[in-house]
């Protein structure tokens, strides 16, 4: 899972306590996408079919893009079922870069 890979990468460069806190905060942020999931911008390009959004988590070299899709077709902007497609470093890869593992 990309979230765990991001944690392992982060733990190579930060003290263990910071890496654990960062991982926990990122998981909390992802879980929070179920409330107001459409608050983050639609990701243009990248080769995805359908509407895909991105949440930026963190700052500077520790920033990550959480690429996700809102599955619930509700008209209401405040709820939705979210499927996370990717968690990628904002430094290493542009958020629109599609990976081979995407399943549509």
| Tens of pLDDT, residues 9-22 | 788 888 888 888 88
| Average pLDDT of the segment spanning 22-37 | 90
Write the CB contacts of 58 (distance below 8 Å, at least 6 apart in sequence): 22, 26, 64, 90
pTM of the model as a whole: 0.76
Break the chain into its structural domains and give their ranges: 2-89
Residues 33 and 68: beta-carbon distance below 8 Å: yes
53-57 and 82-89 strand pairing:
unpaired
Measured CA distances, 3 to 35, 58, 73, 79 (Å): 20, 14, 26, 23
């Amino acid at each position: 899972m990309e979230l765990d890979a991001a944690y392992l990468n982060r733990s190579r460069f930060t003290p263990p306590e910071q890496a654990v806190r960062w991982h926990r905060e990122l998981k909390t942020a992802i879980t929070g996408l179920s409330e107001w999931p459409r608050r983050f911008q639609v990701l243009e390009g990248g080769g995805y079919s359908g509407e895909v959004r991105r949440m930026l988590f963190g700052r500077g070299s520790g920033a990550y893009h959480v690429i996700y899709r809102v599955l619930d077709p509700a008209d209401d902007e405040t709820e939705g079922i979210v499927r996370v497609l990717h968690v990628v470093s904002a430094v290493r890869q542009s958020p629109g870069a599609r990976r081979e593992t995407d399943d549509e």
